[in-house]
Amino acid sequence: MTQNVAEYAATGRRKTAVARVRLALGVGKRTVNGKDFETYFPSAALRMFIEQPLAITDNLKRYDIICSVRGGGKSGQAGAIRHGIARALVQADAGLKEKLKESGMLTRDPRMKERKKAGQPGARKRFQFSKR
């Protein structure tokens, strides 16, 4: 017999990181790439950053979160998970959209690393000019 559990899935992106987030009604358990949330993100600041959408909407202990994240570094991955959680919360309850939107959590952060150009040592840096 299968149990019909309300589950909401969304994708979040930040820099080069992409996170697939699933929200299911539960007790507040969080898993990232098969590891415990605290193990994957040892930094308390990143954990607080990720949980912002849940804290703003008073849903910290209401949903279990299962994330699969690839690419980027820890900071970019944290931003991608945060974006995915916010989008999944809107799927779960459309009334939360305005609150999340005004706090800027539904907007994808478009800032990416600029590519290095040919004939230069970096993206913007130029080789030292020599008159003679």
> What would the 3-class secondary structure string for the chain be?
CCCCCCEEEEEEEECCEEEEEEEEECCCCEEECCEEHHHHCCCHHHHHHHCHHHHHCCCCCCEEEEEEEECCCHHHHHHHHHHHHHHHHHHHCHHHHHHHHHCCCCCCCCCCCCCCCCCCCCCCCCCCCCCC
- What is the model's pLDDT at position 3? 58
The Cα–Cα gap between 14 and 116 comes to: 20
Question: 7-102 belongs to which CATH class?
Answer: alpha beta
The pLDDT assigned to 1 comes to 47
Single pTM value for the model? 0.88
Judge whether 13 and 108 are in contact, CB under 8 Å: yes
Average pLDDT over residues 65-92: 95
Domain ranges of the chain: 7-102
What would the mean pLDDT of 111-127 be, rounded to a whole number?
94
